Amino acid sequence: MIQSIIIGTGHYLPKKIIKNEYFLNCEFYNKKGLKINKSNKEIIDKFKDITEIEERRYVEKNVLNSDIATIAAKRALINSNIYKEEIDYIISAHNYGDINPDSFQSDFVPSISAKVKNKLKIKNNKCRPYDMVFGCPGWIEGMILADQLLTSKYAKNILVIGSETLSNVIDPYDKNSMIFSDGAGAVVLSAINIKNEKFGIISYDSQCNNNDELYYLSNGPSVNSDYNKSLINIKMNGRKIYEYALTEMPNMLKNLLDKTNFHLNDIKKILIHQANAKMDYAILNRLLKLYNYHLDNDFNKKIMPMTIQKFGNSSVATIPTILDLILKKKISYHRINPGDVILMASLGAGMNINCMIYRFQNKQNKLIKI
């Protein structure tokens, strides 16, 4: 049986750390374009209470999205021991392409995936570069596409990357800008023949509500009418996103588990996209209630690794970054062992949501590459 197996992982986190104190000297405006009549400390303290974010990572000025995507990809390739010319597809998830550091305009031509292929110096003209623009769930959706290509025998090895430099598309006058950060994560997926047992990507689901939900997260002008440095600024309706997430995501997760005959008790880790700690805890709590369980702080800490406190929301890079950190034993108290089943889930612009069940192979299983 051909199965899609992760054989290598890598990530990149910028070295530039932006602590909450950085925003003490900012001017924040509300949606009506009026200056918020509260102290910045009060705004920042409330922000931290809700999101738990203490700091985030920003790239240096001249570092592009395709640059950090390439670093993460290179690290995943090294970890996989796959020769780069054996890669059949590069699937690059992102939302803004490369952002010009002077004009702050998005550049999608050529595509990020094509730029990554060029920067990796891959000569194979049968290595196809695909870009996945699907909101924050883009990396999981890239994994879904990769699985379909691998199990259909259209490919043997696929590089799936999630990367973003959101620090270049934030409105400096919008308090929501404190959420966003930069980073990149990548995996190499390979078609592996494993007899008798099911490992790797087990199952997945996606849901796209693009009607009234379409503009819960979008681009727009600054809340400060005097700011015209960029017209591309992330805008989000946090309340609507929160309500949507709690309504839709727990049911999707349970339905996927039911469909594949798994129970929540079978899941060792839940790797969830992290934009807001309060929202993630609430999603987990709703999921537990569907099983007539109650949220327990110890259980929460064991099953759902949280990195938002130090890394912020790096969009498509969040989940592959967490996965790489755990596999390389760089997150305290979190380990993934042979045979473990994990659940990955994300939501974002669209609104789009998706989830995936992945089972790590036992050591005794012989991997036979296709």
Judged by average pLDDT, the poorest of 6-10, 78-82, 140-144, 360-364 is 360-364
For 317-343, how does the pLDDT look when each residue is reduced to its tens digit (9 = 90+)? 999 999 999 999 999 889 999 999 999
- Average pLDDT score over the chain: 92
What is the per-residue pLDDT across 45-104, written as a single tens digit (0 to 9) for each? 999 999 999 999 999 988 999 999 999 999 999 999 999 999 999 999 999 999 988 888
Class of domain 1-370: alpha beta
pLDDT digits (tens, 9 = 90+) for 9-45: 999 999 999 999 999 999 999 988 889 989 999 999 9
Question: What pLDDT digit, counting tens, does each position of 284-306 carry?
Answer: 999 999 988 876 666 767 899 99
For residues 330 and 317, give the distance between their C-alpha atoms in angstroms, rounded to a whole number.
Answer: 16
* Whether the predicted pLDDT of 362 surpasses 80: no
Position 216 confidence tier, pLDDT thresholds 50, 70, 90: confident
The confidence band for 365, taking pLDDT boundaries of 50, 70 and 90, is: very low
Is residue 71 classed exposed, middle or buried when 0-12, 13-18 and 19+ CB atoms within 10 A define those classes? buried
Please check whether residue 89 is in contact with residue 127, taking contact to mean a CB–CB distance below 8 angstroms: yes
CB hemisphere CA count around 51 (13 angstroms): 29
Q: Where are the domains of the chain?
A: 1-370
How far apart CA 79 and CA 320 sit, in angstroms, is 14
Q: Is the peptide bond before 110 cis (omega within 30 degrees of 0)?
A: yes
Alpha-carbon span 367 to 223, nearest angstrom: 54
Task: Tell whether the model's pLDDT for residue 364 goes beyond 60.
Answer: no
Between 117 and 217, the higher pLDDT residue: 117
